[in-house]
């Protein structure tokens, strides 16, 4: 064999090897068969999020879920998957979660990441709140899987209430002292796999409280010019009408009986006018705490 022929064969073989190397390099550059890092499971307070490292050399991502009873996967164009998109999850079951990169065909997919163990949980829906000014009642949606509701309020007064789902989805403010408050309602479950959605709806409420008035006769003592009367409520101020004049009094003595009744002793010496009819009623505290009933005659 001539020298030229030998060189031709060598160069031809070398070109073939280089072509194969080029194909392999192109495949490696386009499809990195190394498995992605383990899936991150994030929590934003309203949902669970599965996240795998991004790889632009692939066309998508596959999230795999494997339990003792079944295995399934969800394909996604994004490297982030919302748990609400995984319809086959059985809440409370344990899953091994992994992910891989998707190539142009199944053979071009990457290997799966190291699986991590996760107990499937979800967030309860967020109740929508409404307020009726007619009956002064707060109402909200009935939330599936909730056992009770946590009502948080801030403003004129602040605090927290717990209402069982068995007691219904409403809260009357008729007996609340009047004022302006912000209310939020959070659905809660005794099952730890159903988490509370902390991104609650907030509603501003202005409620009016109406004093019920005195519930006994108002008895006048002509010797010491005092009047005694009782009520189930504690008032900061009392109105006394004498003739055509009305006086707002705050300096009086109040004692409380064992049964909770408030007993008022009011000194009328500074304002008393002989021969004039006298009437008594609770005085408005502010625009939210008012008395709009009838005056009680002092006898």
**Total-model pTM:** 0.74
DSSP states along 36-64: PPPPEEEE-SS-EEEE----TTSSEEEEE
CA distance 188 to 162: 10
The tokens describing 137, both together, are 């009642």
Secondary structure string (H, E, C) spanning 94-139: EEEEEEEEECCCHHHCCCCCCCEEEECCEECCCCCEEEECCCCEEE
Q: For 219-258, how does the pLDDT look when each residue is reduced to its tens digit (9 = 90+)?
A: 999 999 999 999 999 999 999 999 999 999 999 999 999 9
pLDDT single digits (tens) 102-129: 999 989 999 999 999 999 999 999 999 9
Let me know if 113 is exposed, middle or buried by CB neighbors in 10 A (0-12, 13-18, 19+).
Answer: buried
Is the pLDDT score of 154 beyond 90? yes
Query: In which residue are the tokens 């409403």 written?
Result: 170
Q: What is the pLDDT of residues 24-54, one digit of tens each?
A: 444 444 445 578 999 999 998 888 999 999 9
Whether 62 contacts 99, CB under 8 Å: yes
Q: Which helix (H) or strand (E) holds 280?
A: strand 278-282
């Amino acid at each position: 064999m001539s020298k030229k022929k030998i060189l031709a064969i060598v160069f031809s073989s070398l070109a073939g090897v280089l072509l194969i190397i080029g194909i392999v390099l192109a495949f490696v550059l386009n499809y990195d068969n190394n498995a992605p890092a383990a899936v991150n499971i994030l929590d934003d307070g309203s949902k669970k999020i599965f996240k795998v490292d991004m790889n632009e050399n692939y066309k998508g991502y596959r999230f795999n879920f494997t339990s003792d009873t079944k295995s399934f996967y969800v394909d996604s164009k994004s490297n982030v998957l919302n748990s609400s998109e995984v319809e086959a999850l059985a809440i409370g079951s344990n899953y091994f979660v992994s992910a891989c990169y998707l190539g142009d065909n199944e053979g071009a997919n990457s290997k799966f990441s190291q699986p991590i163990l996760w107990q499937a949980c979800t967030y309860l829906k967020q109740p929508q709140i409404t307020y009726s000014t007619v009956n002064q009642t707060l109402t909200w949606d009935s939330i599936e899987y909730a056992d009770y509701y946590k009502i948080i309020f801030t403003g004129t007064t602040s605090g927290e209430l717990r209402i069982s789902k068995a007691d219904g989805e409403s809260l009357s403010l008729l007996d609340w002292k009047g004022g302006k408050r912000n209310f939020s309602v959070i659905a809660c479950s005794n099952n730890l796999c159903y988490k509370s959605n902390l991104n609650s709806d907030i509603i501003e409420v202005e409620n009016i409280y109406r004093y019920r008035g005195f519930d006994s006769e108002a008895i006048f003592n002509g010797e010491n010019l005092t009047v005694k009367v009782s009520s189930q409520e504690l008032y900061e101020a009392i109105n006394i009408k004498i003739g055509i004049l009305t006086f707002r009094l705050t300096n009086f003595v109040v004692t409380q009986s064992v049964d909770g009744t408030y007993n008022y002793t009011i000194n009328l010496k500074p304002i008393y006018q002989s021969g004039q009819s006298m009437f008594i009623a609770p005085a408005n505290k502010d625009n939210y705490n008012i008395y709009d009933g009838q005056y009680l005659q002092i006898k």
